[in-house]
Homo-oligomer: A and B are copies of this chain.
């Protein structure tokens, strides 16, 4: 609802938050977590550092908000069941580099090795989003869904790591159709293939 001073408070507040998060993501991507300061984020967003503290409490709080992300797995079609692997691969590309892309997801993966908070955030996303999605797709108990979601994550996050962080030439070179055709069947196997019987090692 408009107010006498033009823009209602909540809208202004939202715009400020957005500009803080945009500045934070840019600096985090450029410098990493250790070297990014509240002061630098505020300077880049063109506001006072006290505003950043008011909204996010601390550098940790700001980092968490910067990399909070929704994989939007609700958008992946769950039928037909034997097409979920390919649908997941297609969604993944859209989320990382297509219509649904943002910087947070790569930033989080990039930071995971050196910033424990990033690894923790990825574990939470796994638990709340990936395992939840898999549980909704396959019949079976929660333990099986979590196990399969773990396997799905090995392939999906490995694709993200090699394509966006390490930039291995043949993985970067694949067009979207090739990624879906190559990785889709593997995701399908992890989702609905026979649960493998452990075999003795050595």
Is A182's beta carbon under 8 Å from chain B?
A: yes
Q: Which of B150, B175, B186 meets A174, CB within 8 Å?
A: B150
A176-B201 in contact (CB<8A): yes
The secondary structure that dominates the A interface is helix
Which residues of chain B are near A86, meaning CB under 8 Å? 199
CB distance from A29 to the nearest CB of B (A): 11
Whole-angstrom CA separation of A174 from B167 in the bound complex: 28
Is A25's beta carbon under 8 Å from chain B?
A: no
Which residues of chain B are near A159, meaning CB under 8 Å? 154, 158
Residue numbers of A with Cβ under 8 A of B are 32, 34-35, 86, 90, 93, 109-114, 119, 122-123, 126-127, 146-147, 149-151, 153-159, 161-163, 165-171, 173-178, 180-186, 189-190, 193, 196-202
